[in-house]
Structure formats: C-alpha cells, structure tokens
C-alpha cells in the first residue's frame, strides 16, 4: 500500500492553470479511467524545428491566441484508444501544470475537446503517487453538467417516442 500522507486530495473536477501560459484558472475533469491526460488544442502544426499549437480555440472562453512552441525533442506521437475502442494518433507534449497548489511537469495529448464540457482531462499518469480522488470534492461545473444531463434525457425521450411511433 502506498503512503497517503504525501498525497493531495482532489475532487472529480478541479481548477488548474499552466504557469508558463498565464494565470487563468481552467476547469479540468479528473478521470481515473484515462491513462494519459489530454488538452484541448487547435492550430497544431509540426515543423522541422518543433510543434506549435494554441490552447483551445476561438469558441472557448479560455482562448488567448497565445501560440505554444515545443522543440522537436520535447514532443512525440502516440496512439490513443478511446473507451469505445476507436484509435487515433495524437501529439504528446510536456507542460507544467498547477493542480491544488502542486506544480507538476506532465504529459498531455493534444486533441479537439471542443465538444467536451471540460477542456482538460487529467489521467492516471499525472495522478499516480501524488493525488487521491474524492468524488464529492472539487470544483465541478455542476450547472453545465446538469444542463447536459437534461439534454441527454430529452434526446432519449425523443428516441423512445420515435420508436413507439414506428410500431
């Protein structure tokens, strides 16, 4: 059993920041089912000298248009398998993140999370040995989660009604 004294308790969602990229707090989903952390990135471009991207996109309230540049030696590609079994290639970069007062250099895959409620996903590799998750704690986007749950319930009701009408 690991020593829990040196672990920080976090909730199912927390506010994080990237110190080198500004002082803005960004909501992140804590996902113990995900191996690797993921970050919403756009305008991703690989060149001979490195990788450039912007965090989020213009539709996001967290978008700053700041271009992040990662030297060629500081990123690589990986293949990610979703929980649905879909596989895709993604860039992996190391960035410094602050979570509950702890600064950590961690790996993030770059992906389009524009359809996700949380622009950042924190996976097991970042959590391991440093954090314990209390699902009743944290900074979840409760109103947005509730609205999303309501829309899903309405969609399911519409599907059920359509199936009933086809009979």
CA-angle at 105, arms to 42 and 75, nearest 5°: 50
CATH 2.40.70.10 is held by the domain 8-140: yes
Domain extent listing, the chain: 8-140
CA distance 166 to 164: 5
Q: Kindly report, residue by residue over 120-144, the tens digit of the pLDDT.
A: 999 999 999 999 999 888 877 778 8
Q: Kindly report, residue by residue over 38-67, the tens digit of the pLDDT.
A: 999 999 999 888 999 999 999 898 888 889
Tokens of 100: 């509950």
% of the chain at pLDDT higher than 90 = 56
């Amino acid at each position: 059993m690991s020593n829990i004294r040196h672990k920080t308790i976090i909730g199912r969602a927390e506010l994080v920041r990237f110190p080198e990229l500004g002082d803005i707090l960004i909501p992140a989903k804590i996902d113990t089912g995900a191996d690797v952390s993921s970050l919403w990135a756009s305008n991703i471009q690989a060149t001979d000298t490195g990788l450039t991207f912007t965090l989020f996109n213009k539709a996001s309230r967290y978008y700053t248009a700041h271009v992040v540049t990662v030297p060629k030696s500081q990123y690589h590609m990986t293949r990610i398998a979703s929980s649905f079994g879909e596989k895709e290639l993604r860039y992996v970069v190391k960035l410094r993140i602050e979570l509950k007062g702890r600064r950590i250099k961690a790996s993030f895959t770059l992906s389009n999370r524009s359809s996700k409620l949380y622009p950042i996903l924190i996976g097991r590799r970042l959590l391991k040995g440093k954090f314990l998750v209390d699902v009743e704690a944290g900074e979840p986007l409760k109103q947005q989660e509730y609205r999303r749950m309501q829309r899903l319930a309405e969609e399911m009701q519409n599907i059920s009604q359509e199936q009933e009408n086809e009979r």
